[in-house]
Structure 1
Amino acid sequence: MPHTPYPTSYYAASANPVPPRPELKGETETDVCIIGAGYTGLSTALFLLENGFKVTVLEAAKVGFGASGRNGGQIVNSYSRDIDVIERTVGPKQAQLLGHMAFEGGRIIRERIAKYNIQCDLKDGGVFAALSAKQMGHLEAQKKLWERFGHTQLELMDAKRIREVVATDSYIGGMLDMSGGHVHPLNLALGEAAAVESLGGVIHEQSPATRIDRGANPVVHTPQGRVKAKFVVVAGNAYLGNLMPELAAKSMPCGTQVITTEPLGEELAHSLLPQDYCVEDCNYLLDYYRLSGDKRLIFGGGVIYGARDPADIEAIIRPKMLKAFPQLKNVKIDFAWTGNFLLTLSRLPQVGRIGDNIYYSQGCSGHGVTYTHLAGKVLAEALRGQAERFDAFADLPHYPFPGGRLFRVPFTAMGAWYYNLRDKLGV
């Protein structure tokens, strides 16, 4: 079987050392077989292990190979569609439950980092940056909305104040969330994997799930082995492929691009982001950036629908970086990569159960770092028989893309073009 290494990225190049994790060979039995060693799978595994379950994790490539090890590294609260949209969709009772969970993922991340001593360059503070009066009005409403659900670590910033934390004239204002922040995302995943193993969990890399025998005692097959389990958790997200056709029909992998500069040095780095906060703008197709632990600028943005790898990532993202920070025009780009996230039509996560014993969570829609950690807790609760919070997610509507898989890319790209045009026109 071919070995799948990490893609070339700053995160892979600066990853903490890890032990070898051999592929599955032969047959094994477990309480819960988890498919995917990204944040959803690892978070689920940790909560289950902490509650006495026997857990085996199957990873097609390496821990954090997918979005968990390639994302912007930003701890951002709530969901890709905010609580007010959920409230209009499902009503106040369900929205109340989901709203109070919207800020839990970030707390779980910090608890994991502290409990298991994970070295991942955690920094506090995240900025939402407004490019127009309309976006500023949205942030004002968002602050009131989040405060209604008990989230109070927020500060609205005018043009003068935001320039104190982001050295660019691009923004008219913004909002600072001190419960947001940023991490080295791959090292977070690797630290969580080590925590899984410290509790007796088993992780097999290079072991893609090729099929699942469904039934009272499901069996997950890999190229050289199989796992007999009482329960299966499907946590492959954008890298699941067609293992579960009913899940693939309601989601679409999309690519986002990231570049990383050479080390900028303390003085230049501090001049760009004096408080070392991370930043994302409020556009539909947003840009996001932050400093790494060794003072590089990590800058991402753009969406490729259908998850094709663009020929020249730097050509797409560097102009965006220079628009914000023209003083970086002579700075070298050391790394450029793409990673896939899974988009749903509603842009809300899809959570559910197939039969009596196959559980899944997918479709973070670009908002996954915090949500996936919450999802692991919610899935583990459901397997323990506490389903109220699981049901709140499972009851969200799951829509197929109009026209099926053939038309989902052009349909979604047209929608994104429309919203991107509105951002540019400020309407």
Structure 2
Amino acid sequence: MPHTPYPTSYYAASANPVPARPELQGETETDVCIIGAGYTGLSTALFLLENGFKVTVLEAAKVGFGASGRNGGQIVNSYSRDIDVIERTVGPKQAQLLGQMAFEGGRIIRERIAKYNIQCDLKDGGVFAALSAKQMGHLESQKKLWERFGHTQLELMDAKRMREIVATDSYVGGMLDMSGGHIHPLNLALGEAAAVESLGGVIHEQSPAVRIDRGANPVVHTPQGRVKAKFVVVAGNAYLGGLVPELASKSMPCGTQVITTEPLSADLAKSLLPQDYCVEDCNYLLDYYRLTGDNRLIFGGGVVYGARDPSNIEAIIRPKMLKVFPQLKNVKIDFAWTGNFLLTLSRLPQVGRIGDNIYYSQGCSGHGVTYTHLAGKVLAEALRGQAERFDAFADLPHYPFPGGRMFQVPFSAIGAWYYSLRDKLGV
């Protein structure tokens, strides 16, 4: 069977050492078979193992191969659609429960890092940067909204204060969330995988799930083996393929692009982001950036609908970086890569159960670092018979993309163009 390595990226090049995790050979039995060793799968595995379940994780490539090991590395609270949108969609009762969970994922990440001594360059502090007065007004409303749900580690900042945080004149203001922050995302995933194994969990890499036999005792097949289980958790997200047809029509893989500079001098790095916070702007198609543990600037942005890989990522992202930091015009780019995330039409995650024993969570819509860690806890609760929080997500309405899969890409691209134009016009 072909071996799938990590794609070239700064994260893969700077990953912590890992043990060999051989592919599944033959038959094994477990309580829960989890498909996908990204954040959703690993978080679910950890919560289940901590509660006495026997767990086997199947990974088609390597731990953190997908979005979990390629993202911008930013700990950002709430969901891709905020709590006010959820409230208008489903009403105050369900929104209250989802709102209480909106800030839990970041706490889970920090608890995992501390409990299992995960070395992943954790830094506190995340900034939402406003490019217009309209965006600043949105941040003022967002602060009030989040404080209504008990989240108080927030500071609104004017243009002068923003220049103390970021060495650019691009922003009219912003909001600092000290419960936000940033990490080396692949090393977080690798540390969580090690924690899974320390509790007796088993992870098989290079073991794609190719078929699920449904029924009272589901069986997950791989090319060289099979897992008999009481429950299955599907956590493949944008890399699931057609394994579960019911999940495909209501979601679409999309690509985002990231570049990483050569190491910067300590003085230059500190001048760009003196407090070492991460930053994302407030545009619909947003840009995001932060410093790494070895003083590189990671800068990402853009969306490619349908998850095609652009031919020249640096040509797309470098101009965005120089617009914010023209002082980096002579700095070399050492790494450029793309990674897929799963978009839903509502931009809210899809959570549910198929039959009595196949559970899933997918569709973080570009907001997955914190949500996936919460999802693992919620899925584990449901398997233990505590379904109130699971049901709050499962009851969110979801719809297929207009025109079916053939028109997912053009319709989504047209929508993104519209909102991007509104950002540029400030309307």
Q: TM-score range by the shorter chain?
A: over 0.9
Could you tell me which residue of structure 1 aligns to residue 173 of structure 2?
Answer: 173
1:285-306 deviation digits (Å, cap 9, x = unpaired): 0000000000000000000000
- Cα deviation code 1:360-411 (max 9, x no counterpart): 0000000000000000000000000000000000000011001000000000
* Whole-Å separation in 1 of the counterparts to 2:398 and 2:320: 34
Question: CA separation in 1, counterparts of 2:286 and 2:117?
Answer: 32
Q: Offset of 1:307 from its aligned partner?
A: 0.1
Question: 1:8: which partner in 2?
Answer: 8
Shift of 1:196: 0.0
Cα drift, residue 41 of structure 1: 0.0
Could you tell me how far apart the structure 2 residues matched to 1:42 and 1:248 are? 22
Report the CA distance between 1:54 and its aligned residue.
Answer: 0.1
Aligned residue for 1:135?
Answer: 135
In 2, distance between residues paired with 1:99 and 1:399? Answer: 22
Is 1:403 paired with 2:403?
yes
CA distance in 2, matches of 1:24, 1:420: 45
The structural deviation recorded for 1:191 is 0.0
Q: Deviations over 1:91-116 (max 9, x none)?
A: 00000000000000000000000000
For residue 412 of structure 2, give the secondary structure of its aligned residue in structure 1.
Answer: helix
Equivalent residue of 1:65, what SS?
A: coil
Alignment correspondent of 1:272: 272
SS in 1 for 2:27: strand
Superposition deviation, residue 170 in structure 1: 0.2
Aligned mates of 1:115, 1:333 — CA distance in 2:
35
**Residue 166 of structure 1: CA displacement?**
0.5
Deviating runs (4+, > 2 A) in structure 1?
Answer: none
Q: Secondary structure at the match of 1:391?
A: helix
Deviation at 1:343, TM superposition (A): 0.1
Deviation at 1:58, TM superposition (A): 0.1
Q: What whole-Å deviation, never above 9, does each CA across 1:59-84 have from its counterpart, x for those lacking one?
A: 00000000000000000000000000
Aligned-partner SS, 2:247: helix
Q: Distance in 2 between matches of 1:203 and 1:56?
A: 6
Q: Distance in 2 between matches of 1:341 and 1:171?
A: 27
Give the whole-Å Cα distance in 2 for the aligned partners of 1:351 and 1:329: 44
- SS of the counterpart of 2:420? helix
Find the aligned partners of 2:424 and 2:123 in 1 and give their Cα distance.
Answer: 31
Q: CA deviation at 1:330?
A: 0.3
* Mapped partners of 2:156, 2:287: distance in 1: 20
Q: Distance in 1 between matches of 2:128 and 2:266?
A: 24
Whole-angstrom CA distance in 2 between matches of 1:166 and 1:122: 19
TM-score by length of 2: 1.00
Q: Distance in 1 between matches of 2:181 and 2:167?
A: 18
Per the TM alignment, residue 265 of structure 1 is displaced from its structure 2 partner at its CA by: 1.5
Q: What is the match of residue 120 of structure 1?
A: 120
Q: Structure 2 CA distance, aligned partners of 1:273 and 1:373? A: 27
User: SS at the partner of 2:351?
Assistant: strand
Q: Deviations over 1:233-265 (max 9, x none)?
A: 000000000001110111000000000000001
CA displacement, residues 111-169 of structure 1 (integer Å, 9 cap, x when unaligned): 00000000000000000000000000000000000000000000000000010001100
TM-superposed CA distance for 1:229, in Å, is: 0.2
SS at match of 1:295: coil
Could you tell me how far apart the structure 2 residues matched to 1:264 and 1:110 are?
A: 28
Instruction: Name 1:424's counterpart in structure 2.
Output: 424
Equivalents in 2 of 1:403, 1:49: separation in Å? 42
> How far did 1:194 drift?
0.0
Distance 1:265 1:68 in 2: 28
Residues 8-43 of structure 1: CA distance to partner in whole angstroms, max 9, x if unpaired?
000000000000000000000000000000000000
- 1:213-236 deviation line (CA, Å, top 9, x unaligned): 000000000000000000000000
TM-score (norm 1): 1.00
Q: In the aligned structure 2, how far is the partner of 1:201 from the partner of 1:309?
A: 34
SS at match of 2:105: helix
Distance 1:265 1:276 in 2: 14
1:87 to partner: Cα distance: 0.1
Q: Secondary structure at the match of 2:390?
A: helix
How far did 1:325 drift?
0.2
Distance in 2 (alpha carbons) for counterparts of 1:249 and 1:229 = 27
Q: How does 1:290-301 map to 2 (within 5 A)?
A: 290-301=290-301
Counterparts of 1:392 and 1:212, CA distance in 2: 26
State the alpha-carbon separation in 2 of the partners of residues 330 and 174 from structure 1. Answer: 28
Distance 1:156 1:327 in 2: 26
Distance 2:198 2:318 in 1: 41
The whole-number CA distance in structure 2 between the counterparts of 1:216 and 1:304 is: 40
Any idea what SS the aligned residue of 1:129 has?
strand
| RMSD (Å) for aligned C-alpha atoms | 0.2
- In structure 1, stretches of 5+ residues that fail to align are none
Q: 1: CA distance between counterparts of 2:372 and 2:402?
A: 27
Alignment match, 2:389: 389
Mapped partners of 1:245, 1:398: distance in 2: 15
User: 1:297 and 1:248 mapped to 2: Cα distance?
Assistant: 35
- Partners in 2 of 1:375 and 1:265 — Cα distance? 39
Question: 1 CA distance for matches of 2:423 and 2:231?
Answer: 45
SS for the counterpart of 2:283 is coil
